[in-house]
């Protein structure tokens, strides 16, 4: 079965349209991270004076990576939710019955998700830069940020698609929401773990999201650094490919049913 780029485009377009037409699905994933960032930066601005806090021009600058991470994590589950809705409504079967390639089904959706995640990251960067965030790594720093956001969005989307394909239940997909929530909070996203210390520092240090955040943050507040950039890209890419793999396995299981 050949997978054509036109097919991927058609499915991607459908998933992008689906997102745009359901403002209740994406407005929170824009508004909530921004509000949380506004709140945290006003609450914790003074903590920059605590010894051990990284050299940074403002708390907003420190939070840029966190804002992107949070927005992308929450925004990208909609791909999986959509798959589950399609399965529940029987739309998925119609797709399967059409000559469209099975792979296009998954890749089309993920392409849409990756695109939306990168756009979201760009939007957050622009907005936060108006309020004091920096992009010391320049254009290449921005490019890496968008790349990481895209991979991460794709990874989360693929994970959600996996769950959606396995269960066919919207509720099951949404049920993972608190787990994503926990993962973001238990990383270095919102506060430097070395200041918090204790169990938190340990947990944050083994959380792969921390590697991504630290890499991006370095490009935002310090400057270009190939090793930091590479570590963020590699981790997000690995997550992406692992979950794309699981989603393909889930797809073939669903087709055999």
Partner 1 sequence: MMLSIVGIAGRGVIRTIRMPSVLIQSVFFPTFFFVIYIGLYAGVITLGGFGTSSIENWYVPFMMLQGASFAGIGVGFSTSLDISNGFFDRLMMSPVSRIAILVGSIFGGLLRALFVSTVVLAVGLIFGARPTSGIMGFFWLYTAVVGMCLASSCWALGLVYRFKDQRIAPLFPIGVFMALFTSTAQVPLNVSTGWLQTIAQRNPVTEVLGLARQSFMDVGVTSAETIDGLIALLLIVLSLGAFAWSGLRRYLG
Check: CB of residue 71 under 8 Å from CB of residue 33. yes
Contacting positions for partner 1 (CB under 8 A): 24, 38-40, 42-47, 49-50, 52, 178, 182, 185-186, 190-192, 195-200, 203
Nearest CB to partner 1, comparing residues 53 and 95: 53
Q: How far is the CB of 49 from partner 1 (least distance, A)?
A: 8
Q: How far is the CB of 129 from partner 1 (least distance, A)?
A: 17
Environment class of residue 108 by beta-carbon count within 10 Å: exposed (0-12), middle (13-18) or buried (19+)?
buried
Check: CB of residue 97 under 8 Å from CB of residue 181. no
Distance, CA of 66 to CA of 60 (rounded, Å) = 10
Q: How far is the CB of 206 from partner 1 (least distance, A)?
A: 14
Q: How far is the CB of 36 from partner 1 (least distance, A)?
A: 9
Q: How far is the CB of 60 from partner 1 (least distance, A)?
A: 11
Distance, CA of 69 to CA of 228 (rounded, Å) = 16
| 30: CB partners within 8 A, 6+ apart | 71, 75, 120, 123
The upper half-sphere exposure of residue 15, i.e. CA atoms within 13 Å in the direction of its Cβ, equals 34
Nearest CB to partner 1, comparing residues 65 and 105: 65
Nearest CB to partner 1, comparing residues 7 and 70: 70
Nearest CB to partner 1, comparing residues 56 and 111: 56
Nearest CB to partner 1, comparing residues 95 and 131: 131
Nearest CB to partner 1, comparing residues 41 and 104: 41
What is the Cα Rg of the chain in Å? 19
Q: How far is the CB of 195 from partner 1 (least distance, A)?
A: 4
The helix (H) or strand (E) run that includes residue 232 is: helix 226-256
Residue with tokens 């959600």: 160
């Amino acid at each position: 079965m050949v997978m054509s780029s036109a097919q991927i485009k058609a499915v991607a377009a459908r998933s992008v349209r689906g997102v745009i037409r359901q403002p209740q699905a994406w407005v929170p994933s824009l508004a909530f991270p921004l509000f949380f960032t506004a709140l945290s930066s006003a609450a914790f601005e003074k903590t920059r004076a605590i010894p051990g806090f990284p050299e940074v021009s403002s708390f907003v600058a420190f939070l840029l990576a966190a804002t992107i991470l949070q927005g992308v994590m929450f925004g990208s589950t909609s791909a999986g939710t959509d798959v589950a809705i399609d399965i529940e409504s029987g739309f998925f079967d119609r797709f399967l019955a059409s000559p469209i390639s099975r792979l296009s089904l998954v890749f089309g959706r993920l392409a849409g998700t990756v695109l939306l995640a990168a756009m979201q990251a760009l939007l957050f960067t622009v907005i936060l830069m108006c309020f004091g965030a920096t992009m010391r790594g320049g254009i290449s720093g921005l490019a890496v940020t968008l790349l990481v956001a895209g991979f991460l969005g794709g990874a989360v989307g693929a994970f959600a698609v996996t769950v959606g394909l396995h269960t066919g239940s919207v509720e099951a997909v949404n049920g993972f929401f608190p787990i994503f929530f926990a993962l973001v909070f238990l990383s270095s996203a919102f506060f430097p773990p070395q200041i918090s210390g204790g169990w938190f520092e340990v947990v944050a240090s083994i959380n792969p999201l921390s590697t991504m955040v630290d890499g991006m943050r370095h490009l935002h507040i310090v400057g270009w650094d190939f090793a930091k950039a590479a570590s963020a890209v590699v981790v997000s890419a690995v997550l992406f490919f692992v979950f794309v793999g699981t989603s393909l396995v889930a797809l073939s299981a669903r087709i055999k049913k």
